[in-house]
Structure 1
Amino acid sequence: MPSALITGITGQDGLYLSELLLAKGYDVHGLIRGQNNPKLDLVHELLPDVQLHTGDLTDMSSLIRALRVSQPDEVYNLGAISFVAYSWENAALTTDVTGKGVLTMLEAVRLHAGDDPASVRFYQASSSEMFGKVQETPQRESTLLWPRSPYGVAKVFGHYMTINYRESYGMHASSGILFNHESPRRGPEFVTRKISQAVARIKLGLQDDVTLGNLDSRRDWGFAGDYVEAMWRMLQQDTADDFVIATGETHSIREFLDIAFRHVGIDDWASYVKQDPRFMRPAEVDLLIGDATKANEVLGWKPTVTFPQLVAMMVDADLEAQRAGW
């Protein structure tokens, strides 16, 4: 039975990845930060077979302890402060966790692996936010990185540190440059879930409107459940590498609103949506669209959920949750 250690197991990717690995017969371990983590009960409920270990990406000793106990064949580093807007308000903390935390995890894995650095396969969750002020469209693995947020800058550091450890020590370390991926498990602070939750509440008469920022920014949105499959496939390759994971389609916030409101029978949403400059980014990323040709050719990976299906899935889940009083 192979063993895997997942940091960031309480996030949407961590939950989907854990389910995938458990279905494949893995012994799954998760790193969880703090004894009062608000998502601890959710992990216990959804993933009773996962063994949890307390640790922190800024504390190497806790990472080494988790590695010794779990003895993983694969490490998936999904842990990060991942809300982009928050990173401007807390740039130093974002840097420590999302950037330097990658280095701490890589070094812990390297020390744990000892004389055989490639014996533990490592996955780093890189991000399309690294492209920022995009230098070519679509974006691929060779596209120049030009991050436009402290979060993006921290992700670039972690991305290049992963490459450096692969080239310097021979570690089997891969990065997945994942474009936006959503699900009903996405946190309500993210715009897609903010919209799906608001649309459900508006439909049910529980809310009058929703306030958003830039409605014209465009993203390449996929389903998180599809994207964790790509993570696993990367670590099954004989040679570690970096891969863009994306749908190859771009959609605006307005398109997301169109589909979400139409799904509940509302064709004209103008009176339900307000804009506020407070939700505008200091430096906006206007257009992201990925070229996942390499992932398709090398990993045999393709997305299975379309954009309209993703939006409908999220709205339906929030309708059910609101009706149940969650």
Structure 2
Amino acid sequence: MKTAIITGISGQDGSYLAKLLLEKNYKVIGTIRSYRCINNKNLKYLGIEKDIILEELDLLDMANVIRIIQKYKPNEIYNLAAQSSVGLSFDQPLGTFSFNTTSVNNLLESIRLFNPSTKLYQASSSEMYGRVKHMPITLETPMHPVSPYGVSKMASYFMITTYRESYNLFACNGILFNHESYLRSDNFFIKKVIRDSIAIKLGKLDKLVVGNLDVKRDFGYAPKYVEAMWKILQSEEADDFIICSGQSVLLRDIVEYIFEKLNLNKSLIIENQDFFRPNEINEIYGNNIKAKKKLDWQYNFSFFDVLDILVDEETRSLKLIHDSQNITNK
């Protein structure tokens, strides 16, 4: 039985990855920042909360990182913990950079010193590339991040490659483009649009307020993307991979598709410039050929297929909550 540590296990990717690893007969250790504020809702939703060992871990404290590596001697570590909101990174640039870089440095150095056979997966991001001159984005595309979050992820990306090349560690970057699921946090665009649109349908909101809809993004489905994470660490040699759909979708088309699916009037879509980012990327999409060939990773979803899944799952969930509240009130 292999042992894997997942930092940031309570998030969207950590929860789906934990489920996948359990199905593959791993012993799964999930790290959280504090026992006092455990958020198990995603693990409970997937029915796996009792199958995971939770450990409190401060990734900014190297002694703490060393302790957990020595305790479990993991075969694999998946580092998914980060300050991952691009918008929030403009409000908290120093905190974002400090956490997203120091946490990775502490993991790398602890592995190098105390368990160099451990394989490390680092959750990198398409935001590292920022504003590019040519698309699709490949590993050879020059990086030009336009957010504090993107800058922090770029620094960690190069630290991973430096430790791999200098110390022969099995350390890999998975450069994931936007990927969505029912478990996505409410502050992310797709989740917010779906939840607010359903709330309009139920008469609980009177309009959808959004930021700039004239930008295009490469969106995918999270449960399929975590398969690629696992496959990356099963490779014969450590390497970096872009995980994406290979297509960009206009945000306006996404919002209007959801409104059409729910039979809502598009006049209720309100763009508010207060929600526009200080520095925006107009379009971004990647090339996933290397991942498909070298990892044998299959991905054939259109994002509108994914939207159908997400809207239906969100609707079912809200209906269950609504029915449960009615029973309680009676």
Alignment TM-score, normalising by the size of structure 2: 0.94
Q: Which residue among 172, 182, 185 is the counterpart of 2:180? A: 182
Q: Which sits farther off after the overlay, 30-39 or 168-177?
A: 30-39
Per the alignment, residue 54 of structure 2 pairs with 52
Per the alignment, residue 300 of structure 1 pairs with 296
Distance 1:41 1:187 in 2: 11
Does the aligned pair in 2 maintain the 1:226–1:305 contact within 8 Å? no
Write out aligned runs for 1:235-254 (5 A). 235-254=233-252
Write out aligned runs for 1:146-185 (5 A). 146-185=144-183
Give the CA deviation at 1:36: 2.4
Distance 2:274 2:197 in 1: 21
Deviations along 1:111-168, one digit per CA (max 9) or x if unpaired, are: 221xxx2x11110000000010113200011110100000000000110000000001
Give the CA deviation at 1:316: 1.6
Per the alignment, residue 78 of structure 2 pairs with 76
| 1:317 to 2:313 alignment | yes
Distance 1:124 1:279 in 2: 30
Please tell me the residue identity of whatever aligns with 1:254: R
Q: Which runs of 5+ in 1 are unaligned?
A: none
Q: Which sits farther off after the overlay, 5-14 or 94-103?
A: 94-103
Does the aligned pair in 2 maintain the 1:201–1:319 contact within 8 Å? no
SS at match of 2:137: coil
Q: Which runs of 5+ in 2 are unaligned?
A: 323-330
SS at match of 2:138: coil
Distance 2:254 2:54 in 1: 36
Per the alignment, residue 145 of structure 1 pairs with 143
| Root mean square deviation of aligned Cα | 1.4
Please tell me the residue identity of whatever aligns with 2:271: Q
Identity between Structure 1 and Structure 2 (%): 39
Per the alignment, residue 21 of structure 2 pairs with 21
Task: Report the number of matched residues.
Answer: 320
Please tell me the residue identity of whatever aligns with 1:298: K
Write out aligned runs for 1:196-275 (5 A). 196-266=194-264, 268-269=265-266, 271-275=267-271
Does the aligned pair in 1 maintain the 2:12–2:42 contact within 8 Å? no
Distance 2:28 2:300 in 1: 25
Per the alignment, residue 128 of structure 1 pairs with 126
Give the CA deviation at 1:304: 4.2
Does the aligned pair in 1 maintain the 2:101–2:155 contact within 8 Å? yes
Per the alignment, residue 7 of structure 1 pairs with 7
